[in-house]
Amino acid sequence: MADTLPASTRWQGLRIMAVDGSVLNLPKTSEMFDAFSGQRMAKTQNGLVLPMARFSQLYDVDSGLTWHAIVQSYALSEAAAAAEHLKHAPSKSLILYDRGYPSYFLVARHVLLQRDFCMRVQRGFSPETDRLFKTDLPSTIFQLKPNHRAKAMCKKHDMAVDALTLRAVRVLLKTGVVEVLLTSIVDPEHIPDADFGELYALRWRIEGDFRHLKSHIELENWTGKRLDCIAQDVHARVLAKNLCTALASVAQAQLDAERAQKIAVHLPVRKHRDKVNATAALHLCKFVLVAFLLQPTLQTLAPLVAKIASNTNAERPGRTCQRKKNRGKSTRYPMAYKKTA
Going from N- to C-terminal start, the domains of the chain cover 99-202, 211-315
- Give residue-wise pLDDT tens across range 201-226: 999 999 999 999 998 899 999 999 99
For the chain, the average pLDDT equals 87
Query: pLDDT-based confidence at 275, cuts 50/70/90?
Result: very high
- Give residue-wise pLDDT tens across range 28-51: 898 999 999 998 876 656 667 889
Query: pLDDT-based confidence at 332, cuts 50/70/90?
Result: low
Residue 314 confidence (pLDDT):
86
State the Cα–Cα distance between residues 292 and 297, nearest whole angstrom: 7
Residue 5 confidence (pLDDT):
37
Contact 50/25 with Cβ under 8 angstroms?
Answer: yes
pLDDT of residue 6 exceeding 60, the answer is: no
Contact 82/30 with Cβ under 8 angstroms?
Answer: no
pLDDT of residue 129 exceeding 90, the answer is: yes
pLDDT of residue 341 exceeding 90, the answer is: no
Hey, what long-range contacts does 146-155 have (CB within 8 A, 24 or more apart)?
146/104, 146/105, 146/108, 147/104, 150/103, 150/104, 150/105, 150/108, 153/105, 154/104, 154/105, 154/108
Residue 2 confidence (pLDDT):
38
State the Cα–Cα distance between residues 122 and 245, nearest whole angstrom: 34
